[in-house]
């Protein structure tokens, strides 16, 4: 069967070929010439919220997303009413919690780093190792997880039904006869998470043709990102992820490429939270050896001088 990603790989290859290296870059003229190729790969859809993909048995609706948002903030989904989804996925931090690893209820079990929830409507796999294949299959898991929310459905359903405003929201979202249940809670949460989309920013204006939307340093960083750094080999598309699993030298199992939007807000980084800064993330990529088990998409050895690193970080912060 034909690889559905083939056209993208061809474009990516073409873009690598036509992107001039730093010495050849004369300035804005060259950039304007190359930009249309990059636009094919990185352009944000005009209005992503207007066209959110959703499964046939849980179509998108505003009422469901509103209910899902209310549930996302509601500690009654947890066993001791002490935690809500937002405890670990704070909108102010790109929907992360600022911790190396999420805090377990027993204070000792090792959880993963809480990932950002931006732009997941277009993802195919969820959790760092991709073990859930839909947001519906994801949303109930932290509720039941003993170290995350330790919720129990009979209590959750009773609490939600007893709250008049919440019960009304269930009816608005799912119909006059609807009541809170594991299914409706899960579907509403998944619908809300689907609606979490990163806003258009300076990078989007740049890729649309407004070269000056990025500084010279940020543009140099973009050229490294798509050129010598090879970052776009996995972090591509307007969400900056190929949605695939790769071994990148941290831990022993393949991890889903995270999107990089609002990356300056989501430290610490990586599934184990082992990198505190973007500088440390880049040092990791430059330190990788020839280990053949790692993803072939990684540029190795990756030689970046200190100016390159500054440029690359400036670019990442512009996302
Ligand atoms: C105790 C902190 C904590 C709470 C509470 C929590 N999460 Fe998470 N969340 C995490 C961690 C840690 C991961 C990564 C787990 C893994 O991959 O093994 C994660 C992963 C996710 C993902 C997958 C993201 C991706 O890119 O694949 C989604 C979606 C998500 N959480 C939504 C929710 C929702 C919805 C709730 C509430 C029902 C919630 N989370 C509650 C810590 C938390
Ligand atoms: C082979 C595919 C691949 C390539 C090439 C690649 N990355 Fe990554 N990137 C990943 C994966 C997979 C992770 C998650 C690794 C983990 O958590 O263990 C990641 C994580 C990151 C993170 C942390 C994101 C977060 O939310 O924690 C940043 C930042 C990042 N990469 C930037 C870059 C830069 C800059 C380059 C180029 C120098 C690059 N990546 C090249 C696949 C790739």
- CA torsion, ordered 37, 40, 42, 48, to nearest 10 deg: 160
Q: What does pLDDT average to in each consecutive run of 10 residues of the chain (319 residues)?
A: 53 53 50 86 95 96 98 97 97 97 97 98 97 98 98 97 97 97 98 97 95 96 95 97 96 96 98 98 93 91 95 98
Chain-centroid distance of CA 304 in Å reads: 26
Closest CA relative to residue 201, chosen from 110, 76, 88, 94: 94
Rounded Cα–Cα distance for residues 234 and 212 (Å) = 26
Report whether 138 contacts 58 (CB < 8 A).
no
Closest CA relative to residue 136, chosen from 49, 68, 90, 83: 68
Residues with CB under 6 A from ligand 1: 77, 83, 85, 87-89, 102, 111-112, 114-115, 117, 120, 126-128, 135, 138-139, 142-143, 148-149, 189, 193
Q: Assess whether the C-beta atom of 319 lies below 6 angstroms from ligand 2.
A: no
Q: What is the pLDDT of residue 96?
A: 98
Give the position of tokens 């990025």: 214
Q: How many CB atoms lie within 10 A of CB 154?
A: 7
Q: What is the pLDDT of residue 26?
A: 45
Give the position, in ligand 2's atom list, of the atom nearest the Cα of 247.
12
Give the position, in ligand 2's atom list, of the atom nearest the Cα of 231.
37
Rounded Cα–Cα distance for residues 294 and 249 (Å) = 7
Rounded Cα–Cα distance for residues 313 and 100 (Å) = 20
Q: Does residue 268 have a cis peptide bond before it, meaning omega lies within 30 degrees of 0?
A: yes
Report whether 259 contacts 253 (CB < 8 A).
no
Give the position, in ligand 1's atom list, of the atom nearest the Cα of 78.
5
> Which residue has the CA at smallest separation from atom 30 of ligand 2?
281
Q: Assess whether the C-beta atom of 298 lies below 6 angstroms from ligand 2.
A: yes
**Class of residue 164 by CB neighbours under 10 A (exposed 0-12, middle 13-18, buried 19+):** exposed
For the chain, the distance separating the N- and C-terminal CA atoms, rounded to the nearest angstrom, is: 35
Ligand 1 centroid to Cα of residue 240, in Å, is: 20
Ligand 2 centroid to Cα of residue 169, in Å, is: 39
User: Which residues lie closer than 8 Å to 315 by C-beta, 6 or more apart?
Assistant: 214, 217, 218, 219, 220, 221, 222, 224, 225
């Amino acid at each position: 069967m034909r690889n559905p990603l083939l056209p993208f790989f061809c474009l990516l290859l073409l873009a690598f070929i036509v992107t001039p290296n730093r010495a050849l870059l004369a300035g804005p003229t060259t950039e304007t010439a190359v930009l249309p190729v990059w636009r094919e790969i990185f352009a944000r859809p005009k209005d992503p919220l207007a066209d959110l993909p959703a499964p046939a048995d849980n179509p998108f609706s505003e009422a469901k997303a509103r209910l899902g948002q209310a549930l996302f903030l509601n500690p009654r989904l947890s066993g001791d009413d002490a935690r809500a989804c937002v405890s670990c996925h704070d909108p102010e931090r790109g929907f992360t919690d600022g911790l190396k690893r999420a805090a377990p209820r027993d204070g000792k079990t090792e959880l993963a780093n809480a990932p950002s929830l931006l732009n997941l409507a277009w993802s195919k796999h969820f959790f760092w190792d991709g073990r859930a294949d839909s947001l519906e299959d994801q949303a109930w898991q932290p509720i039941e997880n003993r170290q995350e929310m330790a919720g129990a459905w009979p209590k959750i359903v009773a609490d939600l039904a007893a709250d008049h405003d919440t019960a009304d929201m269930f009816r608005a979202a799912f119909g006059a006869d609807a009541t809170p249940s594991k299914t409706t809670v899960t579907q509403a949460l998944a619908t809300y998470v689907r609606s979490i989309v990163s806003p258009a920013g300076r990078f989007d204006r740049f890729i649309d043709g407004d070269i000056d939307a990025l500084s010279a340093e940020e543009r140099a960083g973009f050229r490294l990102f798509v050129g010598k750094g090879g970052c776009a080999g996995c972090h591509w598309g307007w969400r900056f992820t190929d949605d695939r699993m790769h071994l990148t030298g941290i831990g022993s199992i393949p991890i889903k490429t995270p999107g990089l939007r609002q990356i300056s807000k989501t430290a610490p980084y990586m599934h184990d939270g082992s990198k505190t800064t973007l500088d440390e993330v880049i040092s990791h990529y430059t330190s990788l050896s020839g280990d053949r088990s790692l993803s072939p998409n990684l540029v190795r050895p990756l030689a970046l001088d200190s100016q390159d690193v500054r440029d690359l970080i400036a670019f990442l912060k512009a996302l």
